[in-house]
Amino acid sequence: MADRNFIPIGPFHPLLEEPEFFKFYVDGETVVDAEVRVGYNHRGVEKLAEGKTYDQATFLVERICGICSTSHPFAYVQAAEDVSGIVVPERALFIRSIIGDLERIHSHLLWVGLAAHFIGYNTVFMWAWKYREPVLDVFEMISGNRNHYGMFKVGGVRRDINDAQIPSLLKAIDEIEGFCSMLVKAVMDDPVIKARTKGIGILKKQDAIDIGVVGPVARASGIINDVRKDFPYAAYDRVQFERVVLPDGDVFSRMAVRLLETIESTKIIRQCLKQMPKGPIDAEVREIGIGEGIGQHEAPRGEVIHYVRSNGSNYPERHKIRAPSFMNVPSFKKTVIGQSIADAALITAAVDPCYCCTERMAVLDRETNKVLLNGDELVRLCQEKTEKMRNK
Amino acid sequence: MTDSLKLIFGYLIFPGLIFSAMVGMIACWIDRKVTARLQYRKGPPWYQPLADILKLLGKEMIVPEGVSNAVFLAAPLFGLSAAALVALILWQGNLDRSAGFIGDLIAALYLLTIPSLAMIIGGSSSRNPLSALGASREMKLILAYELPFTIAVFTIVVKAGSIMIGGVASHTAVLSVSGLIAFLVALLAAQAKMGFVPFDIAEAEQEIMAGPLLEYSGPGLALFKLTKDILFFVLPLFLITLFLGGIEVTTVAGIILAVLKYALILVLMVLIKNTNPRLKIDQAVRFFWGPVTLLAIAGFIFAVIGW
C-alpha cells in the first residue's frame, strides 16, 4: 500500500467546500483504489443536543448543514412530535412543505453550479447561482433570513406566510420555474457537458441497493425512493408530483434528476400555496411525553433521519442523526475505480456530499496511532447506553 | 553598434517584452471583463492584470524542499524569454516585409512551443504529484495540438509560396477554402496553447490545483503569468500574420484594421472559452488527432490543388 502513488484530494482542495481527504491511488491517470478520511470537522452535535431544550435543539440542528439548513430541523421536529403524537395544525404542515421544497430548489441549483465549476464550465456555474438568488430572496421575504430560516418549531412553524405575500410568491415561483426549465434545456442538450458526464461514474442499481444510497443518487440509479411519497409527511400527500427516476446511474443522470426535481418542486410549492388552509400555525406544545420518536425528511441530498428519546424532561435524553451523505459518500468505492483523475474528482462531487453532516469519529492513541475505539465499538457503546436508559 | 542597441531595444521594450506584455495585459483585462459580464459579474478594473503581476513580484518566493533551484527558477525565465523573442520576430516580419530571414516562420513556430515546455520543466521539477500530473498532461496536450497546428501553418506556406513571415503576411489566406480551414484549426490549437477552456487541462484547478504552477509563488509565478499575458498578444498576432494578411501600422487606417483583426481573434477566443466545459486529456488528444488533424490535412490538400 505504502509504495503506491496517490493523488491527494484534500484536506483542503478547491474541489471541496469542506475539509475532507480523498486519497486516489493511481496508475498514470487511472484511479485503481480510493480511500476517504472524514473527521476534520466533528462537532459532537448529538451530544450537544442532549444539553439543550427541545426548542433550542431545533436551532442547533439547523446549523448542522449550511446548505440544506431546513432538512435537519424538519426531521428533528417530526421526531420530537412523534414521541407523544402531537398533531400539527394543517397550515403549518403546508408551510413546512413549502420551505422544504424551496430549499430543494436552491440546493440543487447550487449543486449544478458547483458541478459545472468542477468541469471548468464557469459560465453555467455563475448562471446557476444567479438563478438561485431569487429563491434566497423568497426565503428572506418569508423568514427574514436567506439561509438559516429558523422557521421550524416542535408543534408547528414560527412564522406565517401572509396572504399579502402570496401573489409575489407565486410570481417568484413562476420566474424560478422559467429559469429552471431554461437551465434544464441548456445543460442537458450541451454536447460537451454530455461528453464529460455521460457514462461516467456509473453506480449500478444492485450496487446502489447494497450500499443503501438515498435521494437523487438512488433515483439516478433507477431506485424508486422518495420519503415524500413512501412515508408521506407534512403536506406532501396532498399535492401531485412525480418522482424523477432515471435508470443509468451516471453523473449525467444525477445531474438530470436534480435539475428535473427543481421543476417538480416548483409544482409542489405552487399547489401548497393554493391549497393552504386558514388557521393556527402552532400547536403550542407545552411538554414532550416519555418515549421514542423518529422523524424522516427527504432532504435535497436524500433521506435524513432523526431519532429522539425523551424521558419527560425538557431535554432530549438521546438524539441520533443520520444525514443522507453518510449513505451516499461510500458509493465512491464503486464509482471511481477505473476512472481517470479528472472524472474521479467530478464523481465524488456528484453525490452532492455534505461532509460536516457525515462526520464520524474514532478514538486513537496518539503515540502509536492505534485505533482504540472504532465505529463499531462506538456503536456498541451507544447501544449499551440506550439499554441502560431503557432499564432505568 | 546601433544595430545591436536597436535589437536590444526591440527585444526588451518595443515590440518585445514590455510592449507585448502591455498589450497582452490589456487583452487579458478585456477577456476577464467580458467573461465577468457574461457571467453577471462586475469584473476587475483595467489595471488588474498589472496589479496582479506587481503584487506577485513583491511576494516571497518559496522553493520546495529538495528541488533543484536552477531548474525550478530558470523554467519561468525560459518561457518568458522565448515569448518576448517571438513577439519581436513577428512584429518585424510584419512591419518590414522583406526583413526577416529564410525560415523565420519555422523559428517562430519553435519558439511558440517553449512556454509550454517551460511549464513542463517547472512542473516536473517541483516534486509535487499534482504538478507532475499537470506536466504530463501538458506534454500530452502539446503532442496533441502541435500536429494539426503545424499542418495548418504549412497549408499557408504552400498557399503563399513563402516560408518567411513577411511573405505569408502579404497574403490574406482566410479568403480561400483551404485558408479558412487552416485558420479554424490553428485557432483551436492556439486556444490549447493559451491553456484556455476547453483545453485548460494541464492547469485544471478543480482537479489538480493549477498543476505545474502549484508550487510556484511570488516572482516565479509572476513570470509565468507575464508569459501568458505576452502569449495573449503573440498568438493572435501569429494568427493574424498567417491568415488575416498581417498588420500595417504606418497609416491610421492600417492601425484601425490591425486592432479590428486583433479584436476579432480575441472575441473568438473568449467566446470559445466561455461556452465550453473543460475536456479530459484523452478526449482532447482524440479531438486533435482525429477530426482536427483530418480537417487540417483536408485543408492542406485543398491548398496543394489550389483552392
Q: Which residue of B has its CA nearest to A16?
A: B206
- Asked if the model's pLDDT at residue A188 lies above 60, the reply is yes
Could you tell me if A317 and A178 lie in one domain?
A: yes
| B277/A341 CB distance under 8 A | no
Higher pLDDT, A28 or A102: A102
In a domain, A15, yes or no: no
Beta-carbon separation of B209 and A14 below 8 A? yes
> Across the interface, do A126 and B40 touch by the CB < 8 Å criterion?
yes
Rounded to a whole number of angstroms, the distance from the CA of A217 to the nearest CA of chain B is: 22
Please state, in angstroms and rounded to a whole number, the distance separating the CA atoms of residues A133 and A105: 11
Q: What is the ipTM of this complex?
A: 0.78
Which of A250-254, A264-268, B93-97, B216-220 is the least confident region?
A: B93-97
pLDDT of residue A168: 87
Q: Which residue of A has its CA nearest to B137?
A: A29
Q: How many domains would you assign to chain B?
A: 1
- Structural domain that includes position B88: 2-304
Distance from the Cα of B212 to chain A's closest Cα (Å) equals: 14
Query: In this complex, do B280 and A342 lie within 8 Å of one another by their Cβ atoms?
Result: yes
DSSP class of residue A364 equals: E
List the single residue in A with minimal CA-CA distance to B202: A342
Above 60 in pLDDT, residue B160?
A: yes
Give the whole-angstrom CA distance, residue A177 versus residue A265: 9
Q: Note the pLDDT of residue B149.
A: 92
CB contact under 8 A, B40 and A192: no
Please count the residues of chain A: 392
Check whether residue A388 and residue A239 sit in a common domain.
no
- Looking at the partner chain, which of B201, B209, B276 has a beta carbon nearest the beta carbon of A192? B276
As given in the structure block, the three cell numbers for residue A204 are: 449500478
Residue A2, pLDDT score: 47
Number of domains in chain A: 2
- The SS3 call for residue A346 is helix
Considering chain A, what is the average pLDDT of its residues?
84
pLDDT digits (tens, 9 = 90+) for B135-148: 888 888 999 999 99
B-chain CB neighbours of A6 within 8 Å are 129
Q: Are B197 and A120 in contact, with CB atoms under 8 Å apart?
A: yes
Measure in Å the smallest separation between the Cα of B85 and chain A Cα atoms: 32
- The top-scoring range by mean pLDDT among A329-343, A363-377, B28-42 is B28-42
Do A377 and A249 fall into the same domain?
A: no
- For the domain that residue A90 is a member of, what is the CATH number? 1.10.645.10
Disruptive mutation site among A3, A5, A13 for chain B (greatest number of B CBs within 10 Å): A13
Q: Which residues of A touch B207 (CB under 8 A)?
A: 15, 118, 341-342, 345
Residue A351 and residue A389 in one domain: no
Q: Residue A389 sits in which domain range?
A: 365-392
pTM for this predicted structure: 0.83
In a domain, A262, yes or no: yes
Half-sphere exposure of A289 (CA within 13 A, CB side): 9
% of chain B exceeding 70 in pLDDT: 100
Backbone phi, psi, residue B134, to 5°:
-60, -40
Helix/strand/coil for A49: helix
Per-residue pLDDT, B55: 92
Minimum CA–CA partner of B42 in chain A: A126
Task: For residue range A66-95, list pLDDT tens digits in order.
Answer: 888 888 999 999 998 888 888 889 889 999
B34 touches chain A (CB under 8 A): no
Statement to judge: residues A312 and A372 lie in one domain: no
Between A and B, how many CB-CB pairs are < 8 A?
A: 80
Q: What pLDDT was estimated at residue A16?
A: 72
Task: Assess A340–B contact: CB distance below 8 Å, yes or no.
Answer: yes
Window from A231-240, A249-258, B1-10, B33-42 with minimum mean pLDDT: B1-10
Verify that A65 and A150 share a domain, yes or no.
yes
The per-residue pLDDT for range A274-301, each reduced to its tens digit, is 888 888 888 888 888 888 899 999 888 8
What's at A182, amino acid-wise? M
| DSSP one-letter code for A144 | S
In the numeric block, which cell numbers belong to residue B177? 477554402
- pLDDT value at A356 more than 70: no
Q: Is residue A340 part of a domain?
A: yes
The C-alpha atoms of residue B199 and residue B287 are separated, in whole angstroms, by 11
**Same structural domain, A385 and A267:** no
Claim to verify: residue A221 and residue A258 sit in the same structural domain: yes
Q: B110 pLDDT exceeds 80?
A: yes
Residues 343-382, chain A: which have Cβ within 8 Å of B?
343, 345
- Are the beta carbons of B278 and A119 separated by less than 8 Å? yes
Q: Flag whether A188 is in a domain.
A: yes
Whether residue A147 is found in the same domain as residue A187: yes
HEC assignment per residue over B28-84: HHHHHHHHHHHCCCCCCCCCHHHHHHHHHHCCCCCCCCCCCHHHHHHHHHHHHHHHH
Phi-psi region of A140 (alpha: psi -120 to 50; beta: other; left: phi over 0): alpha
Q: Is B280 near chain A, with CB under 8 Å?
A: yes
- Predicted confidence (pLDDT) per residue in B50-86, tens digit: 999 999 999 988 888 888 888 888 888 888 889 888 8
**pLDDT tens across A149-174, in order?**
888 888 888 888 888 888 888 888 88
Q: In chain A, what percentage of residues exceed pLDDT 70?
A: 97
pLDDT at B123 (0 to 100):
86
Is the CB of A191 inside 8 Å of chain B's CB atoms?
Answer: no
Give the distance from residue A371's alpha carbon to the nearest chain B alpha carbon, in angstroms. Answer: 29
Cell, residue A132? 438561485
- Measure in Å the smallest separation between the Cα of B80 and chain A Cα atoms: 26
Mark yes or no for CB contact A14/B274 under 8 Å.
no
Lowest mean pLDDT among A305-309, A313-317, B99-103: B99-103
Distance separating alpha carbons of residues B55 and B215, to the nearest angstrom: 17
> A144 and A128, same structural domain?
yes
Residues A102 and A239 placed together within one structural domain of the fold: yes
Residue B173 has pLDDT above 50, yes or no: yes
Cα-based distances in Å from A129 to A111, A132, B212: 9, 5, 30
pLDDT per position as a tens digit, B233-271: 889 988 888 888 777 777 888 888 888 888 888 888 888
Say yes or no: B239 contacts chain A, CB-CB below 8 A.
no
CA distance B129 to chain A (A): 7
Give the H/E segment covering residue A310: strand A302-311
Taking contacts as CB-CB distances below 8 angstroms, the residues of chain A near B130 are 7-8
Task: Give the pLDDT score at B51.
Answer: 92
Exposed e or buried b for every residue in B79-117, given b needs 16+ CB within 10 A? bbbbbbbbbbbbbbbbbebeebeeebbeebbebbebbbb
Instruction: For residue B126, give how far its alpha carbon lies from the nearest alpha carbon of chain A (Å).
Output: 15
State the pLDDT at residue A1. Answer: 43
